[in-house]
């Protein structure tokens, strides 16, 4: 078996599988990928993106959305800075909804969800590697954000209500 280039033909499926492992190629059933793309197309709120690209990389679903173009700034540097600022604003304003959608998708497809946005040639990815299922620090950070916004373990944010909430990310 060759370790570089194409696999030897006639060796069988094991050689091909080993070749894909070496190349870090993820083979996904087109029906499963279509199901994931369709689910996100139906689940994402209207108005978030002017276009969205949903891909699968290893064990994560990557949702990269194009934000509406704005004519901000007169120089390329100003436009780049304005685009980065809009992406940051989008990230903060949609955090709660994105967490909820990611939780639903992670439960349904058993894959992490990574978000990103692009605008004016600037692309930013948020929470690479998933929603925090494997990282205790991220779970604590997201849990604090949820509690601060009245969605945490105590329900509506009142100290007396004891409605436990699942913290699976």
Instruction: Please give the Cα distance from 135 to 120 (Å, whole number).
Output: 32
Long-range contacts of 97-102 (CB under 8 A, 24+ apart): 97/45, 98/126, 99/131, 99/142, 99/145, 99/146, 99/169, 101/43, 101/44, 102/131, 102/169
Tell me what pLDDT residue 103 has.
94
Query: At 6, is the pLDDT very low, low, confident or very high (cuts 50, 70, 90)?
Result: very low
Instruction: Please give the Cα distance from 146 to 166 (Å, whole number).
Output: 11
Instruction: Please give the Cα distance from 41 to 51 (Å, whole number).
Output: 10
36: helix, strand or coil: helix
Regarding predicted confidence, which is higher, 15 or 42?
42
Which H or E run includes 17? helix 13-23
122-152 burial, b at 16+ Cβ within 10 Å, e below that, comes to bebebbeebbbeeeeebbeebbeebeeeebb
pLDDT in tens, 30-87: 888 899 999 999 999 999 999 999 999 888 999 999 999 888 788 889 999 999 999 9
Tell me what pLDDT residue 130 has.
43
Instruction: Please give the Cα distance from 153 to 147 (Å, whole number).
Output: 7
Which H or E run includes 147? helix 136-148
Residues comprising the chain, all counted: 169
Tell me what pLDDT residue 149 has.
65
pTM exceeds 0.75 for this model: no
Question: Does residue 117 surpass a pLDDT of 70?
Answer: yes
């Amino acid at each position: 078996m060759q370790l570089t280039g194409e696999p030897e033909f006639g060796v069988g499926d094991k050689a091909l599988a080993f070749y894909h492992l070496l190349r870090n190629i993820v083979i996904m059933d087109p029906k499963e990928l279509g199901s994931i793309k369709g689910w996100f197309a139906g689940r994402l709120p209207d108005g978030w993106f002017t276009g969205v690209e949903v891909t699968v990389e290893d064990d994560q679903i990557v949702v990269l959305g194009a934000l509406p173009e704005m004519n901000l700034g007169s120089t390329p540097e100003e436009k780049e800075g304005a685009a980065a600022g809009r992406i940051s604003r989008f990230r903060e304003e949609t955090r709660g909804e994105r967490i909820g959608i990611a939780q639903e998708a992670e439960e349904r497809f058993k894959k992490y969800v990574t978000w990103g946005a692009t605008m004016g040639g600037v692309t930013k990815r948020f929470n690479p590697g998933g929603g925090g299922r494997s990282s205790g620090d991220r779970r604590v950070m997201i849990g604090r954000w949820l509690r601060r916004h009245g969605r945490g373990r105590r329900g509506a944010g009142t100290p007396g209500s004891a409605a436990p909430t699942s913290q699976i990310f």
